[in-house]
Structure 1
Amino acid sequence: MIPLGAIHFTPAEVALILAILTFGSIALALPATLTLAWVGYRRGTTRKAANALWYWFGGTALSVATTALAAGHLGWLAVPIGWIPTLLLAVALNPRPTPNAS
């Protein structure tokens, strides 16, 4: 028989659901965030890995927030839509090669 009452989750179940949603959204954002991290690595001067990590954190926050805002209206199409701001930021911040001064 199907219960018709409200569904009650324990705190452990809620934590598990939130962990799955968090890690899943981070994994789905990787194509855009790794691109921005590579740009951060290339823009770094002294601590390239730390710079890339901060760019990755920022890109992840931007991509996950955009996906979450679009998910209510677009469903799974919100995942690639969430990549757009992060990828545009990567294009804008990508260091241009300097021409050789002769």
Structure 2
Amino acid sequence: MIPLGAVEFSPGDVALILAVLTLGATALALPATLTFAWVGHRRAKDHPGWAAFTYWLTGTAICLATTALAAGQGLGWWSVPLGWLPTLLLALALKPRSDPRAS
């Protein structure tokens, strides 16, 4: 039998759906965010691991926001590679020319 009423979700169901969506979006953003983390690691002078982590967090926030905006425009799956563009362009702009720790 098919229910004919409105679908109701409990708060736990909503939290689970949001967690799955967030983790999936973060996984789809990895090509851009790992590139940005590598740039942060290369630019760091004292704590490269911490710098890579903060660059990854920043890149993830930029990528997810851009992907959400593109998806809101109705671009479908094209919003994923479009979401990578700002993070990859920022990584390209901030890429060090040489390793600063080498000197």
* TM norm structure 1: 0.92
**Structure 1 residue 12, shift from structure 2 partner:** 1.2
* Map of 2:35 onto structure 1: 35
* Map of 1:54 onto structure 2: 54
Q: Identity over aligned residues, as a percent?
A: 64
Letter in 2 for 1:38: W
* Mapped partners of 1:80, 1:23: distance in 2: 17
**Structure 1 residue 48, shift from structure 2 partner:** 0.4
Letter in 2 for 1:69: L
Letter in 2 for 1:25: A
Deviation string 1:56-80 (CA, Å, 9 cap, x unpaired) is 0000000000000101220111000
* Map of 1:74 onto structure 2: 75
- Structure 2: runs of 5 or more not aligned: none
* Mapped partners of 1:47, 1:37: distance in 2: 13
SS at the partner of 1:4? coil
Letter in 1 for 2:63: S
**Structure 1 residue 32, shift from structure 2 partner:** 0.1
* Mapped partners of 1:76, 1:2: distance in 2: 30
**Structure 1 residue 5, shift from structure 2 partner:** 1.7
* TM norm structure 2: 0.91
- Superposed CA RMSD in Å reads 1.1
SS at the partner of 2:76? helix
* Mapped partners of 1:68, 1:4: distance in 2: 31
- Structure 1: runs of 5 or more not aligned: none
